[in-house]
Each structure stands twice: as C-alpha cells, then as structure tokens.
C-alpha cells in the first residue's frame, strides 16, 4: 500500500510539472529574471540597438524604430526621446510557469506636450521676425527657426516629460523573458506619439 501511495504521489507531481500548473516556480530555463530582461530591453533602446530590443518583445515583430533614418528633425526628436527615457523597477512579480508581471515606472518625453509648446513658440517667433521684415519663403528657413527654438527648449526639456507606472506582462520564450507590449506601454515607449 505504501508503494502504491508513493507511486501515486510521484505521478501527481509529474503530471503537475508537465501540465504547467500556475504555481509560483523557479525558472530553470533562463539565468535572468523578468526584470533583468526588461531592463536589458530599455538598455538596448538607449543604445539605439533596435534589433536587439525587438528580440525582447513577445507580441510585436517590429517596434517601428529605424536606425539612423529620417530627416534632421526626425533624428533630433529621436535623440531627445532616447535621452529622456528612464526606467525604474517598482516591483518584480512572482513567476508563474512562463508568465510574470513586472511593475515599472517609466519616464519619457511626451511628444504631445512638446508639440504644443514648440508650435506656439515657433509661430510667435516667425510672427515677430515677419514684423521686422524677415520673410520665410522656403521650408528650410522655417525649419531653421524650428531647430533654433528646439535647441533653446532643450534646457527645460524635462518640462515635457511624462512619468507613469506600468504593469508589464512578461512571457518566457526562446530562453528570454519577453515583454507582452500593451498599446499603452508602446505609446509611452515612442513618446506618446500615437
């Protein structure tokens, strides 16, 4: 009878392991924690290594970032976004099989805030210059004013940052913890541009 009970207990334990029951567990297939892989994702973004960052995203094949692409304005705004991002792990949730949730606080440039202020300042500056007789006949002349205003705003760029907490779902896939990127988190990553 003892032998039968021992076999039954072993069978239940093996079935539980094979079925992937949602019990807190130690992950034996990776040497990193969900928060470490999440922070590595943000380190890749900071280095503008978008291909490496995208390897840590579970549900998007591409985040839409282009290495060194776009015109001068796109490159300046991309640099401001990259410089603005800071991430802090608030709490690392438990690991349940191949799932986990990490709570982070993400600070990033908010393009909607920046766009409103930049537009107002550019319009004011162009009107002031037109008042004294300067004309703006080409796109390059207007962009020169935009760059000048943007450079002057860089001193107080943190006025246009947003900070928010996110519960980031993570999935273990291909021996890495990968971000299940919500629309809200994606919007924050790209500076609330959508």
The string of pLDDT tens digits covering residues 50-99 is 999 999 999 887 778 776 667 899 889 999 999 999 999 999 989 999 99
pTM of the model: 0.77
- φ/ψ (deg, to 5) at 17: -65, -45
Residue 125: band (very low, low, confident or very high) from pLDDT cuts 50, 70, 90: very high
Residue 31: band (very low, low, confident or very high) from pLDDT cuts 50, 70, 90: confident
Nearest by Cα to 25 from 90, 91, 103, 93: 93
Mean pLDDT confidence for 37-60 = 93
Q: Is the pLDDT of residue 22 over 90?
A: no
CA distance 142 to 134: 11
Q: Is the pLDDT of residue 11 over 50?
A: no
Mean pLDDT confidence for 174-191 = 94
Q: Is the pLDDT of residue 3 over 60?
A: no
Q: Tell me yes or no: is domain 25-109+160-189 CATH 1.10.1060.10.
A: no
Q: Is the pLDDT of residue 41 over 70?
A: yes
Which run of H or of E encompasses 141?
A: helix 139-153
Domains in the chain: boundaries: 25-109+160-189
């Amino acid at each position: 009878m003892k032998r039968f009970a021992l076999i039954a207990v072993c069978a239940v334990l093996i079935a539980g392991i094979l079925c992937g029951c949602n019990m807190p567990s130690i992950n034996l297939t990776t040497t990193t924690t969900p928060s470490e892989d999440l922070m590595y994702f943000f380190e890749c973004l900071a280095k503008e290594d978008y291909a490496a960052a995208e390897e840590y995203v579970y549900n998007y094949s591409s985040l839409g970032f282009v290495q060194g692409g776009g015109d001068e304005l796109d490159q300046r705004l991309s640099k401001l976004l990259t410089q603005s991002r800071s991430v802090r792990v608030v709490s690392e949730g438990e690991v349940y099989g191949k799932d986990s949730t990490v709570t982070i606080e993400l600070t990033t440039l908010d393009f909607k805030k920046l766009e409103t202020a930049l537009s107002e300042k550019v319009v004011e500056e162009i009107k002031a210059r037109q008042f004294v007789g300067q004309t703006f006949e080409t796109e390059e002349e207007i962009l020169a004013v935009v760059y000048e205003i943007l450079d002057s705003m860089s001193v107080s760029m943190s006025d246009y940052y947003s900070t928010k907490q996110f519960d980031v779902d993570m999935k273990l896939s291909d021996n890495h913890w990968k971000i299940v990127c919500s629309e809200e988190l994606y919007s924050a990553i790209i500076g609330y541009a959508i």
